[in-house]
Amino acid sequence: MTRQGICHSIVAMTSPTRRFPPDHFINRELSLLAFNRRVLAPVADDRVPLLERLRFLCIVASNMDEFFEIRVAGLKEQIKMRSQVAGADGMTAQEVFSRVKVEAHELIAAQYELFNGTILPALEKEGIVFLRRNLWTEEQSAWIRDYFFREVMPVLTPIGLDPAHPFPRLLNKSLNFAVELEGKDAFGRSSGAAIVQAPRALPRVIQLPRELTGVDNGLVFLSSVMHQNVHELFAGMNVLGCYQFRVTRNSDLFVDDEEVKNLRTALQGELPQRHFGDAVRLEVADNCSEAMADFLLQQFSLGRDDLYRVPGIVTLMRLMSVPDRVDRPDLKFLPFRPGLPKSVSRHYDIFAALRTQDILLHHPFQSFTPVIDLIEQAANDPAVVAIKMTVYRTGTDSAVTEHLLRAAQKGKEVTTVVELMARFDEEANLNIAARLEEVGAHVVYGVFGYKTHAKMLMVVRREGGGFRRYVHLGTGNYHPRTTRVYTDFGLLTSNEEIAADVNEVFKQLTGLGRAGTLNHLLQAPFTLHSGMLKLIRAETENALAGRKAHIIAKMNSILEQEIIEALYEASQAGVKVDLVVRGVCALRPGVKGLSDNIRVRSVIGRFLEHSRIFYFHADGAEKLYMGSADWMERNFFRRIEVCFPVLDAKLKRRVIREGLRPYLTDNCQAWEMDSSGQYRQKTPRGARNCAQESLLGELAADA
């Protein structure tokens, strides 16, 4: 974890004077593990297509990797610093870690139980067979042996452990094999152990020819290939044991804001070290000997609590490629074609359309194409003089980047605010920044110490003797691939007051000066937190005055203590509060006398719920905001965010109808939290209401 990150964690634990006792708050790490249990649930649901169930299993594995790389790593850093500061939940880092290690072991055990006991047998029935090493035929063994010599052995570097060959520095999350040996080699050495790292270029799953397996998809794990042939790496010696293992490391980056002079240079120097941070977890196959497990723990300076014995491959996440490579549409979600708003035809002038009306896009049910079209048409339009855009995550080979490059090459003023600290996308963003600079674009990196998380695009066009600005604001990233799997909203508008606000934020990001007053946008770190508190407290006042009061908020996470306390006070005043929180929720609903009027639900479905929508009844005025900020301390105080209102009455009704109401009545993919903090999945009683399915049916082009 970074020094800055550690500091932020401790600051989060010393938030304003607590008005409510610790048992009214749920711990962040434990809530995150509960979220992953909900993501694991579809793996056991035979109503979900089989290959999608495997995909959910891989998603949980990936989520758990990040949980250890960031959250557990942070706990360990705090424990190392002997921090005794308690969070809003009253728990110290040591107490949290003690709970986390128990629940993480249980969750990972449940994951492998489903994989081995449910998914693999179900796949086999469908002719997707992972061939077990002890059941290979002679012909299969011969083919695999040939594959090993041809494709695997040339790229392996076995390292015998002796005084001249110390334990190697192993990459984060790499697949490795610890080999126990007997005998002497050509130089008379007999260390008794060696390490073999499988290069990441090697596929973790290999497909055999149909004539050898009798099925269309006969597969073997790379680990099985290695186990069967590892003796070929140690000629003349006896292999007593071969055990696959994987180490997970702290993957947060250290950038010292007191010493760094050039963020880009500092980050380029730090990125290579990410793969070699302090170890936080060791996964070994369940057949690993106790002696070897203890040896590995010692090498990584880990304790027994950090050891995870797993009954199967230690790289479950790398099975994510299987659903894509297996051609079985009947075992996947039905494909769909995203729709387009009626105001957008196949061949249209985006600028003319936006001069007439605002355009609201609801992804993935509706296409991201109009946003791409805005950038593309801006790049090609001689009347466009400038394009400004924030870049958080766009993908490596994005059409967005290509259009920006072409616009700059054509002499337009292209300015990009590239967030270099977008976790796990730092390298991609460095590459994008370099490409843009090469063609003359202005590339800035925002404000040091604050992540630029706002999703903003502005096009300046010469019209009628002056300039007109066209804007896109979104709840998600400018990443065409994720817009197919994340639920998000985007607003395209030429409203001059909104555009003036966006322009003011860009001025802050690229230049210097005090923050100006904005017409409509709420901006972090300046007005977003106070603005949300003001809206919540206005509902509280309305309820106390006997007027109808209602708050509906949809987001990824809610953690910020002052917001939670304001919601508790609103509930006590009689405000109805509906929260749709996909992931972490520190608020405890339904507690008598505290949060009787608060309901919390989480929706886990085909698409990742990602949009942030905030609705306030406002005595009938119905104020509605959207943005990319969760109700978390980092979003309010350590990020640059914008939360924008939906001013058009028709579009506001659409957001309520599509983005909120279906999720409050979903009885298929929704989970409700009770007052103890436990989640229970809703089941249909009568009519079946599935938010994502109904939205696909309503908005997709092929509905």
**Active-site residues: which are they?**
453
Interacting residues of 493 by C-beta distance below 8 A, sequence separation 6+: 354, 358, 359, 470, 471, 473, 499
Q: Which residues pair with 474 in a beta bridge?
A: 490
CA distance 207 to 285: 23
In the chain, what is the greatest distance between 2 CA atoms, to the nearest angstrom?
A: 89
CA distance 490 to 492: 7
Asked if 306 contacts 282 with a C-beta cutoff of 8 angstroms, the reply is yes
Taken in order 105, 110, 111, 113, is the CA torsion positive or negative?
positive
- ω into 364 cis (within 30 of 0): yes
CA distance 96 to 501: 42
Burial class (CB in 10 A: 0-12, 13-18, 19+), 447: middle
Identify the helix (H) or strand (E) that includes residue 384: strand 384-391
Structure tokens of 625? 């905001």
Asked if 100 contacts 280 with a C-beta cutoff of 8 angstroms, the reply is no
CA distance 624 to 617: 9
Asked if 475 contacts 455 with a C-beta cutoff of 8 angstroms, the reply is yes
Angle at 123 between CA 117 and CA 128, to 5 degrees: 140
Looking at residue 68, the DSSP 8-state letter turns out to be: I
Match 């302090």 to its residue by tokens: 278
Burial class (CB in 10 A: 0-12, 13-18, 19+), 685: exposed
Looking at residue 326, the DSSP 8-state letter turns out to be: S
CA distance 252 to 278: 10
CA distance 274 to 293: 24
CA distance 429 to 421: 9
Distances (CA, A) of 218 to 129, 164, 565: 5, 42, 56
Asked if 418 contacts 502 with a C-beta cutoff of 8 angstroms, the reply is no
Structure tokens of 532? 């949300």
Interacting residues of 496 by C-beta distance below 8 A, sequence separation 6+: 469
Asked if 222 contacts 202 with a C-beta cutoff of 8 angstroms, the reply is yes
Interacting residues of 297 by C-beta distance below 8 A, sequence separation 6+: 282, 303, 304, 306, 307
Q: Which residues pair with 510 in a beta bridge?
A: none
* 64 CA to centre of own chain: 11
For the stretch 591-623, what's the b/e string if a residue is b when 16 or more beta carbons lie within 10 angstroms of its beta carbon? Answer: beebbebbbbbbbbbbbbbbbbbbbbbbeeeee
